[in-house]
């Protein structure tokens, strides 16, 4: 008599096929690559990277080396002639649109597409159907962005903290189940310098007072041409012993200037004035880590400086009506200067006045990046993505 030893086994689900889409300039890599590595480390994921700009490749390699993670499989994007011409003429926003529209069939077989750009929503309009579109924030500031309404076309949005979640829900851009806060994956690059939830300055010879000027590229908000001239002139005339000034604008400022604007900034360099127009230090938080005082306007890079509460000065030379405006909440965390002649006085007074803002900075840090340690956002993001995909598969 034959015995029945048949047993039933459930077949394991196939790993998720995830496309990581680097559609923007190199500074986005520092947000996206750590998350890509965390996804690739999971047994339930296979990751393929798609890179739009060749300039991103050395940055991705540098990030992998810093994380001590292997390189990931990479596949090419289709590049129609129109996209090549737009890139050659530095019309990068239009170039991205052309690349996205040309690669719907390339990306369609994947289960999910992870990217840092709102315009990736154009993939849906161009016919993308199967993959889930997942957005990863690449900034944590309050400035309103013109194309943020496109987020409603994404299936999942990963943002840095409760502040951004509440904003998108309040504005009706996302629904509650569509958005999760995970922290900032870029912080994972800080590695050994990030201890006790604080980013420590890399060991090197430091000036007693490093001043970082980090203007945004939007002239209407930053008035940087006036502010730059006023700050540089005042610093050169009244510099105190031990003070060093680093001028490091948002790198997007130089996208369409054909190098002319970079040369304009670089001419300001001298013994105690340093200019960074796009080095790795401007992208991987080194500049923020080494600064003692932040001077700026609306750049979200301010929050990378604020990992540890420190003195800040905000320049409002355009005299914008910022009080009680939710898009300028960062300006409540330091003195706001409207008179060009008062800039250096405010900078020199900032350390002594920091006690007036420290508690509020700590509160804003929690609101911006969540209650968890700054390290670990990449793993939280990878786990959130896979939990979301599992729920959609079961549903």
Question: How many percent of the chain have pLDDT more than 90?
Answer: 72
Q: In this prediction, what percent of the chain has a pLDDT beyond 70?
A: 91
pLDDT of residue 208: 65
Q: What is the 3-state secondary structure (H, E, C) of the chain?
A: CCCCCCCCCCCCCCCEEEEEEECCCHHHHHHHHHHHHHHHCCCCEEEEEEECCHHHHHHHHHHHHHHCCCCCCECCCCCCHHHHHHHHCCCHHHHHHHHHHHCHHHHCCCCEEEECCHHHHHHHHCCCCCCEEEEECCCCCCCCCCCHHHHHHCCEEEECCHHHHHHHHHCCCCCHHHEEECCCHHHHHHHHHEECCEECCCCCCCCCEEEEEECCCCHHHHCHHHHHHHHHHHHHHHCCCCEEEEECCCHHHHCCCCCHHHHHHHCCCCCCEEECCCCHHHHCCHHHHHCCEEEECCCCCHHHHCCCCCCEEEECCCCCCCCCCHHHHHHHHCEEECCHHHHHHHHHHHHHHHHHCHHHHHHHHHHHHCCCCCCCHHHHHHHHHHHHHHHHHHC
The band of 393, judged by pLDDT with boundaries at 50, 70 and 90, is confident
| pLDDT tens per residue across span 345-371 | 999 999 999 999 999 999 999 999 998
pLDDT (tens digit, 9 = 90+) per residue, 21-60?
Answer: 999 999 999 999 999 999 999 999 999 999 999 999 999 9
pLDDT of residue 205 exceeding 50, the answer is no
Across residues 304-321, what is the average pLDDT? Answer: 93
Of 254 and 265, more confident: 265
Please state, in angstroms and as integers, the Cα–Cα distance from residue 363 to each residue in 45, 122, 197, 306, 333, following that order: 36, 37, 14, 11, 10
pLDDT value of residue 203: 40
- Mean pLDDT along residues 88-114: 95
Mean pLDDT value across residues 314-341: 94
Please tell me which residue, 8 or 356, carries the higher pLDDT value.
356
Whole-prediction pTM? 0.90
pLDDT at 197 (0 to 100): 38
Q: Give the mean pLDDT of 111-137.
A: 96
Mean pLDDT of the chain: 89
- β-pairing, 209-214 with 243-247? parallel
pLDDT at 12 over 60: no
Q: Is the pLDDT of residue 10 over 70?
A: no
Mean pLDDT of 170-176: 90
Question: Residue 395: what pLDDT?
Answer: 57
pLDDT of residue 323: 95
Select, from the ranges 8-17, 66-75, 283-292, the one with the highest average predicted confidence (pLDDT).
Answer: 66-75
Contact 50, 20 (CB under 8 A): yes
> 254 vs 382, which has greater pLDDT?
382
Q: Minimum mean pLDDT among 85-89, 192-196, 337-341: which range?
A: 192-196
pLDDT given at position 204: 40
Q: Which of 99-113, 188-202, 269-283 has the highest mean pLDDT?
A: 99-113
- Domains, the chain, ordered by start: 16-192+373-394 (3.40.50.2000), 198-369 (3.40.50.2000)
**What count of other Cβ atoms lies within 10 Å of the Cβ of residue 149?**
13
Q: What is the pLDDT of residue 8?
A: 39
Phi, psi (rounded to 5 degrees) for 240: -90, 155
267-312 pLDDT per residue, tens: 999 999 999 999 999 999 899 888 999 999 988 889 989 888 999 9
Q: Is the pLDDT of residue 219 over 60?
A: yes
11 pLDDT band, cuts 50/70/90, is very low
What pLDDT sits at residue 256? 66
């Amino acid at each position: 008599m034959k015995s029945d030893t048949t047993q039933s086994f459930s077949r394991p689900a196939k790993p998720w096929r995830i496309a990581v889409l680097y559609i923007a300039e190199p500074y986005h890599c520092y947000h996206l690559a750590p998350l890509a590595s965390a996804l690739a480390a999971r047994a339930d994921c296979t990751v393929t990277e798609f890179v739009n700009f060749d300039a991103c490749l050395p940055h991705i390699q540098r990030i992998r080396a810093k994380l001590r993670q292997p390189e990931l499989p990479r596949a090419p994007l289709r590049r129609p002639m129109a996209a090549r011409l737009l890139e050659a003429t530095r019309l990068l926003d239009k170039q991205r649109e052309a690349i996205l529209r040309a690669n719907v069939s390339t990306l369609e077989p994947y289960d999910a597409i992870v990217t840092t750009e709102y315009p990736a929503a154009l993939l849906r309009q161009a016919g993308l159907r199967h993959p889930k579109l997942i957005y990863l924030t690449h900034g944590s500031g309050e400035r309103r962005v013109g194309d943020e309404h496109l987020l409603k076309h994404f299936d999942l949005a990963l943002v840095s903290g409760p502040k951004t979640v509440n904003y998108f829900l309040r504005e009706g851009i996302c629904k509650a189940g569509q958005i999760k806060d995970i922290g900032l994956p870029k912080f994972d690059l800080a590695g050994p310098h990030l201890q006790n939830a604080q980013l420590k300055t890399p060991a090197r010879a430091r000036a007693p007072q490093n001043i970082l000027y980090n203007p945004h590229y939007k002239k209407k908000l930053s008035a940087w041409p006036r502010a730059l001239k006023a700050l540089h002139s005042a610093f050169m005339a009244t510099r105190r012993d031990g003070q060093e000034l680093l001028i490091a604008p948002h790198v997007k400022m130089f996208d369409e200037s054909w190098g002319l604007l970079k040369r304009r900034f670089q001419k300001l360099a001298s013994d105690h004035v340093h200019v960074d127009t796009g080095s790795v230090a401007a992208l991987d938080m080194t500049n923020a880590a080494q600064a003692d005082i932040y001077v700026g306007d609306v750049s979200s890079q301010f929050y990378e400086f604020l990992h540890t509460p420190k003195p800040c000065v905000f320049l409002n030379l355009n005299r914008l009506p910022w009080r009680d405006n939710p898009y300028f909440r960062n300006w409540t965390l330091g003195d706001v200067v409207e008179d060009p002649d008062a800039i250096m006085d405010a900078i020199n007074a900032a350390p002594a006045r920091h006690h007036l803002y420290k508690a509020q900075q700590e509160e804003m840090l929690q609101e911006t990046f969540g209650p968890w340690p700054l390290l670990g956002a990449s793993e939280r993001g990878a786990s959130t993505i896979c939990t979301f995909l599992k729920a959609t598969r079961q549903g």
